[in-house]
Structure 1
């Protein structure tokens, strides 16, 4: 048993293969149950698909992810119990929203409940500003407030970006792979196992969502909210490691919060831009529309798959920017990332404007 544990600790990336195999085994069952129980979405004015498609792909992601984490980190599972409670809550909120489209206020309440178990009970949170504005260690109250804000921002940003085939899962694979490799490099093996497991689980969904044809499935809010929960957890741990843990110089990131902003730049900037635009026009920030970055790119003439891979490429660029500027002043790195996002958005807006006029 000790030899197996040692082998797993040496090769945590194997959890990606395990979760992938488990996901492949369970997906047909999830599809069949979804069709029998009518867990599906029909075409409407906000969608571009044809036919009736199951929308509970998040359930398969959850099953394969949780089983893999259980198999690979059984020895510390008791320490994760409250974190897992938060996972169950966010999965339930997303699943109910997929079925009956709950009101934003109730959705926010459910997200906050899951955040409570992650931030307050499990004590996984933002505890420092890493010197931004001269502030390092945060008072406990400020830490909770900041952590809740960041959690809600991340989880809803990833929820909002889930609008076309493969986008949320493709970005999720990239983000989880970044955190998995980092945690692996600084020897936080259990976190690496978890992130690698998410990569494998999301890869199965990506295949079914993008290239499976008649067996297509959507992630649904159950999947996008679950992904947001895990990404928020990884961001908190990533920042905490670079605050409290002595890491090798080559892996230390004094601007860790800004690096996290770079990693998640596409959904974060898009969510903030859309919300601000709605408020300026006197519309509720929670009202759904077709003003997201992927909608603009579709209007420019690109296909779903082209939009997905373009935004993944842009995200890779931003991750490279974060790595290069990992020890820059936090404000400088965020300002550079924000400025590039504004320039790219303006260019896209002009392209779409010309396309519409033609």
Structure 2
């Protein structure tokens, strides 16, 4: 009887995933035609935007519509507390994101919208981080501390996802993987409303990703990235409470606060990396630039497709390693340390790894890269190539993506 119930629940979740995928898949061509008719395109600027053609940025409309429609129609969603507040929060982010995609809004206005959406689900839906389960020696935390911690988490995840939306298929693919992983664990532990929540989002993203994967015919824009980051943050917060569930604790112990950090490891790592770089250069952290991990991969010669696939694989490997260590019963603080160490090992580190290798083994990493990729480097200056370009402050005529990369290389040497 229990197995039959599990099968029925699985079928309901599978149907929700498929329906969301189909709605998103068929909605995108309609949006593209409307964008073409009204000339609503994102034009390349050869600075932050790396595409070579004008492309619509309204894919977030399809993600929003397919997720909300599918989740609202699923009978399993009835058990979610504060559903009306979730809808209100999504509507705020949708319209603010849409306006930003069309006419561009200031960072302050977008932050106000994000804080408003967070407040709705925190106070109306009781989405709250109230227990650290041993991380930093903390267990339950008082309400006055839980509220700002939850606000901070939601805002960071929203903007982390927004920052990785820089090449074809990256944000959509990372979001699909993360949401599927969250959904599988929610389903296994019997949190069916959150399970269908996760699978509706991953289905909506999968349908969108068909059109967004390189070569992309549409982008998700700020509408999509803010909604995606917001929905992923809700899943992460709900996931953190799973260590209080016997079914989860029997397998992973108190690892529920750490596994979301691994699942969202790439966007969180990239955000921290960019912030540190810009603070070090005394630049505004809100200033756009080509200093993200995916830009590094493009400069190494990866295509949009291969860079996205590589980052998918790195993200999955980070989760796999963390999950394995949690299964082996590693202490929760050591587990957090392993996530940080693994992230430093897997993702670019502003030259830290090559300096360590040079000090330990006397290996000239810059010379190796020069030989491998045919690029000359100044051995006394390991500054990122983008920084070299920014410091040169050169105005160039619009060129192709490959010519832009070659120009950056020329300036760096």
CA distance in 2, matches of 1:85, 1:251: 36
CA distance in 2, matches of 1:6, 1:313: 30
Where does 1:27-106 land on structure 2 (aligned, <5 Å)?
Answer: 27-44=28-45, 45-73=47-75, 75-76=78-79, 79-106=82-109
Structure 1 residues 78 and 342, CA gap change in structure 2 (3 angstroms): closer
Cα drift, residue 211 of structure 1: 5.2
TM-score of the two chains, using structure 1 as the length reference = 0.91
Cα drift, residue 251 of structure 1: 4.0
Structure 1 residues 6 and 128, CA gap change in structure 2 (3 angstroms): closer
Cα drift, residue 105 of structure 1: 1.4
Cα drift, residue 99 of structure 1: 1.6
CA distance in 2, matches of 1:198, 1:279: 34
Cα drift, residue 250 of structure 1: 4.5
CA RMSD of the aligned region, Å? 2.2
- What residue is the counterpart of 2:271 in the other structure? 271
Cα drift, residue 246 of structure 1: 2.8
Cα drift, residue 35 of structure 1: 2.3
Structure 1 residues 55 and 333, CA gap change in structure 2 (3 angstroms): same
- What residue is the counterpart of 1:21 in the other structure? 22
- What residue is the counterpart of 1:357 in the other structure? 376
- What residue is the counterpart of 1:303 in the other structure? 303
Structure 1 residues 109 and 64, CA gap change in structure 2 (3 angstroms): same
Cα drift, residue 347 of structure 1: 7.2
User: For the Cα contact (< 8 Å) 1:297–1:348, is it kept in 2?
Assistant: no
SS at match of 2:319: helix
Q: Deviations over 1:161-210 (max 9, x none)?
A: 01000000111110011011111111111211111111111111111012
Segment of structure 1 superposing worse, 107-116 or 37-46:
37-46
SS at match of 1:105: helix
Gapped regions of structure 2 (runs ≥ 5): 355-364, 378-413
Are residues 1:219 and 2:238 paired? Answer: no
Cα drift, residue 232 of structure 1: 0.4
Cα drift, residue 337 of structure 1: 1.8
Cα drift, residue 340 of structure 1: 2.5
User: For the Cα contact (< 8 Å) 2:159–2:229, is it kept in 1?
Assistant: yes
Structure 1 residues 42 and 128, CA gap change in structure 2 (3 angstroms): same
Are residues 1:134 and 2:134 paired? Answer: no
User: For the Cα contact (< 8 Å) 1:242–1:254, is it kept in 2?
Assistant: yes
CA distance in 2, matches of 1:304, 1:177: 23
Cα drift, residue 38 of structure 1: 3.2
SS at match of 2:301: coil
CA distance in 1, matches of 2:33, 2:141: 49
Where does 1:1-358 land on structure 2 (aligned, <5 Å)?
Answer: 9-11=9-11, 12-44=13-45, 45-73=47-75, 75-76=78-79, 79-210=82-213, 216-243=217-244, 245-247=245-247, 249-326=249-326, 327-345=329-347, 349=351, 354=370, 355=373, 356-357=375-376
SS at match of 2:302: coil
Structure 1 residues 80 and 207, CA gap change in structure 2 (3 angstroms): same
- What residue is the counterpart of 2:390 in the other structure? none
SS at match of 1:40: coil
Count, aligned residues: 351
CA distance in 1, matches of 2:8, 2:61: 26
User: For the Cα contact (< 8 Å) 2:318–2:342, is it kept in 1?
Assistant: no
User: For the Cα contact (< 8 Å) 2:23–2:207, is it kept in 1?
Assistant: no
TM-score of the two chains, using structure 2 as the length reference = 0.80
CA distance in 2, matches of 1:342, 1:27: 37
User: For the Cα contact (< 8 Å) 1:186–1:251, is it kept in 2?
Assistant: no
User: For the Cα contact (< 8 Å) 2:127–2:237, is it kept in 1?
Assistant: yes
User: For the Cα contact (< 8 Å) 1:263–1:322, is it kept in 2?
Assistant: no
- What residue is the counterpart of 2:396 in the other structure? none
CA distance in 2, matches of 1:341, 1:72: 37
Gapped regions of structure 1 (runs ≥ 5): none
Structure 1 residues 33 and 176, CA gap change in structure 2 (3 angstroms): same
Relative CO higher for 1 or 2, CA cutoff 8 Å, sep ≥ 6? 1
CA distance in 1, matches of 2:81, 2:345: 48
User: For the Cα contact (< 8 Å) 1:296–1:348, is it kept in 2?
Assistant: no
CA distance in 2, matches of 1:20, 1:310: 24
Specify the structure having the higher radius of gyration (Cα): 2
SS at match of 2:257: helix
